[in-house]
Structure 1
Amino acid sequence: MTEKESFYKLKEEVLSRYQESYPYFVGNWKNFSSQDILNLIDEIFEETKQTVSEKWIYTHLKPENNEKLPRKDMLDILCKYVHKISWDEYRFNQLAPVYVNESFTENSSRSLSSKQGSSSNKKKTIILLVGLAIIISVYFFVFNDKNTETKLEFKNVYTNEKLSNDEVKVFKIEDTTQSNIILSDSKIKVTKPTKIVVTSPLFKSKEIAIEPTNTEAVIDLYPNDYAMMLNAFMKSDIKDWKTRKEQLEKILSDDVEVLIMLKNNLGVEYFNKEEFSQKLIVPTPSIKKMKIIELKSNPDQKISFLRIGNE
């Protein structure tokens, strides 16, 4: 089996693994929707603590025929998602039956034993090499980490308040891949030159090139004013429906699309501007539990798209 054939097989297993979490999806990569892609990105992150981009999925998983293989580190992520150790282990398990079949063509039990012994030795060699690579990686990580590092703290530029994982997401950029970095006490630690992207439905995105300098630095993020207004609006106890309606008219685009995610993967509710405004006019306990997950604005800075979950 060629590497490309192995990749096609892996794509099928990724799809099967996705259907375990979303059994109502019936189809193949060709009819894999944009919502399915977002679901898969979340699934992969939950399973591997690493991320893939929408562009990468469109480039490598959606096509029926692939001109070339993705990078090995991305193949490793997919393998971990389907509960395999790595791409090397996945390929090895696929090629193992071929080695056994070849040994039988020798028509000799002695030849079969020799082939199996060779395969066993090869597997042991791979395990030893992988173990050595892990030891070397840990060594360099530990010692480099002590030599040079920078701690970055994220704050609201106006209030000087620290920001948490619920408010911002930080990604490390390597080539075309993004790896999520978890904030600890509103901070992250960078040990080598890298580029990070900070995203948030409530704050303006920011891309930063980092050079470790054995210092601590504060990254100030500017709030998205309309997003903050809407968030406060949903959490407030204002009962003046006329005031609420006027505020919503100001911050929402006329063609705004609102998606409210239902609990227990029951689906999504769609609202236009009028329907969403009507829902928010009277404050209720359910509205106060709403949480802005994704927000987009038009050139006039009015909110043009909202994805909302529940706390």
Structure 2
Amino acid sequence: MTDLDLLHFEQLKRDVQAQYLKEHTPSYDDISKWKGIDIIYFQEDLRKKAKGNISEKSFYTYFKNSPVTKLPRIDMLNLLSIYAGFESWYEFKKQHLFAGELLKDDEEISDQDLVEIEKTVSESTILPESEISAQKQNSKKNENADLQKSLIENQTINKNNDLTHAENKDEIKPKKNFVRRNVWALVTSVLVVLTGLLGFKDVIFSKTYKYCFNDADRGVGVVNTLEIKVIKENESPILYKIKPGECFYYSTKDKNLKMQISSPFYEYLEVNRSLENAPDEEIIELKPDDYKMAAYYFSIKDANGDPEELKRKRNQLESLISKNAVIYQIYDNNIYGIERLDKQKYITLVTTPTTSLKNLSVIEMKKDNNGKIISIKFKIATDEKNK
């Protein structure tokens, strides 16, 4: 990567911005100021014209900062170049050459690489003939020494009784040392086992319980992520998040269990269980909040661009959501974490036909005593894999 490549990328961002402005009117002409629904519309146009997508995180990384200090991956550069009207990133640079700039089709070995190769070759050791001869002579000497040694070993050696008696005494000492070492090893092993039992007694003597969750009205698994708080005496609550269709496994040696279960689409439930005679597995039914479910259903319902269906969808959301509702969109990036929308912006977002709506998920939803939705917290996940 060169500084010229970074300058070319800044040119490409301006061309991408100009291409989008030909057919769309975002909140700002400057692409670095786009957020929320502007980014969603841009992603939709990118998928339609260039048959690809960039994540919201990538958008904030490369379009919110100017100038950038690093280039995106080549597949993203090619995708943006195609959107701007070029065959590839190479073709884009070819059409925007700076004075004195040359493009190479293939990468060449740099001068630094050549220096490293020459250094490696020069450090290679080649023995002169004199050293080779010396090595041969040393080899012959070693062979003679080995021959002499083998002859001596083949000779018969007579040992006297005093030498044999001394060797027997030396054999007694290792036996005593062997017994002492084994005693200490046995004591150490016992201590390790006892320490392990004390350290893992909760795991060894605990029991695992399984809790699954069903929709009380429909008799099927819950359709939303559950938050379970386990309340223990004299301890802070422990929070668990259970995905739709999954069961909750909890290991404990306690005799009682207290759980607080909450979800955006189900009514709050507090469960108290005596575990002395409790079954290992249990199904807990949660009562759905049909009003919240209706608001969620109409938010993600695909109207297929049918004007009448879109009108019905807007009317349903108008009646379900309070005019003073507080609505937040959560983002999965460090640059822009949360954005507040009013009721009309939210309805416009979810009634605009885009493929992004299939990834909309509600994090929290609250209603007042009259049944009107007064608070929504949601996010739109990205389809793009981590790069």
TM-score, length-normalised on structure 2?
Answer: 0.42
Matched, 1:167 2:232: no
The letter for the 1-side match of 2:257 is T
- 1:288-310 CA deviation, whole Å, 9 max, x = no partner? 22110111111112211111112
Taking a change above 3 Å as real, the CA distance of residues 298 and 208 of structure 1, as seen in their structure-2 partners, is: same
Separation (CA, whole Å) in 1 of partners of 2:313 and 2:363: 21
Report if aligned partners of 2:206, 2:251 keep a CA contact under 8 Å in 1: no
Taking a change above 3 Å as real, the CA distance of residues 195 and 283 of structure 1, as seen in their structure-2 partners, is: same
> Highest CA radius of gyration, 1 or 2?
2
Q: C-alpha displacement at 1:163, in angstroms?
A: 3.5
Residue of structure 2 in register with 1:245 after alignment: 314
In structure 1, the residue corresponding to 2:371 is in which secondary structure? coil
Matched, 1:229 2:294: yes
Number of residue-to-residue matches in the alignment: 178
Separation (CA, whole Å) in 1 of partners of 2:262 and 2:195: 34
Report if aligned partners of 1:162, 1:186 keep a CA contact under 8 Å in 2: no
Q: C-alpha displacement at 1:226, in angstroms?
A: 2.2
Runs of 4 or more above 6 Å deviation: 131-134
Alignment of 1:118-267 (within 5 A): 135-136=197-198, 138-145=200-207, 150-163=209-222, 167-174=225-232, 175=234, 177-181=236-240, 183=242, 185-189=246-250, 191=252, 192=254, 193-212=256-275, 213-215=277-279, 216-238=281-303, 239=306, 240-265=309-334, 266-267=336-337
Taking a change above 3 Å as real, the CA distance of residues 135 and 253 of structure 1, as seen in their structure-2 partners, is: farther
The letter for the 2-side match of 1:299 is N
Separation (CA, whole Å) in 2 of partners of 1:269 and 1:210: 41
Q: Provide the aligned C-alpha RMSD in A.
A: 2.7
Alignment of 1:109-124 (within 5 A): none
Report if aligned partners of 1:260, 1:309 keep a CA contact under 8 Å in 2: yes
Aligned-pair identity in percent equals: 21
The letter for the 2-side match of 1:220 is E
Q: C-alpha displacement at 1:206, in angstroms?
A: 0.9
Matched, 1:273 2:346: no
Taking a change above 3 Å as real, the CA distance of residues 133 and 227 of structure 1, as seen in their structure-2 partners, is: farther
Report if aligned partners of 2:360, 2:379 keep a CA contact under 8 Å in 1: yes
Q: C-alpha displacement at 1:232, in angstroms?
A: 1.8
Taking a change above 3 Å as real, the CA distance of residues 187 and 162 of structure 1, as seen in their structure-2 partners, is: farther
Alignment of 1:68-107 (within 5 A): none
Residue of structure 1 in register with 2:368 after alignment: 298
Separation (CA, whole Å) in 2 of partners of 1:273 and 1:225: 20
The letter for the 2-side match of 1:151 is K
Q: C-alpha displacement at 1:282, in angstroms?
A: 2.7
Q: C-alpha displacement at 1:247, in angstroms?
A: 0.7
Report if aligned partners of 2:330, 2:337 keep a CA contact under 8 Å in 1: yes
Point out where structure 1 has 5 or more consecutive residues left out of the alignment: 1-130
